[in-house]
Structure 1
Amino acid sequence: MTAIPLGINLSFCVKRWVTPDLWAPIVREQLGLDLVQLSFDLVDPTWPEDVLADCARDIRAAADQYGIRVHSAFIGLAHYTFNQLLHPDPRVRDVAEEWMRKAYRFAASAGIGRVGGPLGAVASRLDGVEPDSIPPADYDDLIARMGRLSQAAKACGITELYVEPTPMRREWPWTVAQARRMAADLAGSPVPWKYCVDWGHATFEPLYGRYRAGMDEWFETLAPDIGMVHLQQTDFQYDRHWDFTESGAVDPAEAAGLQRRCGLADRPVFLEVFYPFERDDLSILKAVKHSIAMLKPAFAQENPRGDH
């Protein structure tokens, strides 16, 4: 079987192993990985320039020292809590657009060539009803902003941008059809927009229905536009972001098999897990190590049985 590049999003490090001299040895020496995805929960691209310059230098140095490739940088939870590029106030959208430009500049300075994450959310209605799509004017404005961001990314030296679909009617895109439309509308962008699909998002049964939820359609339909995969353990009832010490519905071998069958074995998969801030550090290290040990035979090894 073809090995699938396996890495980890540094979400598990938030408020804990927050600097490269802390997370790099954990990734390399304790997890045995050489591929990571930086979270902007660890570095805010709006920090002062001198602070950002030191952070970028430290990331480069740690990556070199430990033989780690920082594949990409993703928005993280902190910025995701805002409505970003779909906020009802266009001035806030402007701020979010500028935040992304700063994120591109920082990533490039740290030697990271790819940036992405969810795009934003429209505001809720007073009656609580969630339509099946965001308003057309909001979609058109979003596409225009993504076009400008692609130009800004190219100027910074970024090579790929990512959209992470979420299982929410107020965000975009949340269906395969919407994702296909967005890909078509962004075709020819100076820096290509790709998708990061997440095992906890595409399988969310309360939104998609018990028999429609699943990663199959996303993989099969969007394969040419998928650039990476986020992996988590979940029960298909919420976007859990559990590690693989938890009982859930995601089987690592089946997940890896589907990715291979859909011609996506060359796209990296990143474990993305979150923990309560009050949980003790040692238990998290043990849980993450256990999870990676479970995933490696399915994703990262040429022959998980060890046959020669």
Structure 2
Amino acid sequence: MMAAKTSGPGEAEWPEVMPTPELRIAAIYLIVAGLWVVLSDQVVRVTLPDEPVYVQTLKGMNFVLTTSVVLFFVLRRAYRGWRNAEQRNRRLTAEISECFRLLSARSEISREEERTRLSRELHDQLGQSLTGLTMDLRWVEGRLERLDDRAMNPLIDRLIEAEDQVQKLLSDVQSIAADLRPDALDRLGLQEALLQEMKRFHERTGIEVKVEAADLPADVPPVIATAAYRIVQEAMTNVARHSKATEVTVRCAADEGAVTVSVTDNGVGISPGVEHGRRALGLLGMRERAEFCGGTLRVSPLEGGGTEVSAVLPWKRP
């Protein structure tokens, strides 16, 4: 096992040899047993001055040296099997982790496709049907008003109430469709989708939101734009649930190689250890999205309170 010794600028790097466990055990045995043989012979020399103890010392050291060599090779064989098993377990763990990562990515892609399909069906089919129903109610209302019959006023009032309910239902359908998959993300791009989402977030929560978004390059892949949008959306959900913030700043920018998004709030801040807790499923989902795109996600508390969630998503691979 070799480990490189770090050095300062301009200094040569010298390899530092780290002894293996079997070599350390054999060396410790050799030292301890050799000291025991030598010291025991010194005791014999003091108690029996006329005894030839040097021959016994040589025999004892020869035995210690031989057994230490045998011990080294026995331990080396045992440790080799343990190392091979550990390497196999590491490879198996890495393969399983990669399979789970690919499965999670595939599941997320399928879920996004299903969201897109449901959003379009709600927006196109159900939305158009409700719009047609509203037009029919208005046509009937207009025909009844032309009759100029006061007896029809209660019926006209009920038609107006029904029209208001249909309008509310149409607004709810549009909101659900936007939650599933914002139409602006596919038609107008990430910047406009973020602006619309932050407007809806402010209307729902009353939290002030400031958006700093620059125009993204036209060739940013849709998967990167979707990942950035979902990360910001999940971060805003965490702000509304846990932060107790009154202001949020959302930033989105892109350079020649990566899209960067960040969400900064002035709330209570994230507690240490929460990011890796069992309940931090939202943070785990954001991190998986970023890693699936080959990017990184960072969650850090701010001085004076608040939390910053930032993600870097590369969209041009070398």
* TM bucket normalised to smaller: under 0.3
Larger CA Rg, structure 1 vs 2 = 2
Structure with higher helix content: 2
Q: Under a length normalisation based on structure 1, what TM-score does the superposition of the two structures give?
A: 0.25
Structure number with higher relative contact order (C-alpha < 8 Å, ≥ 6 residues apart)? 1
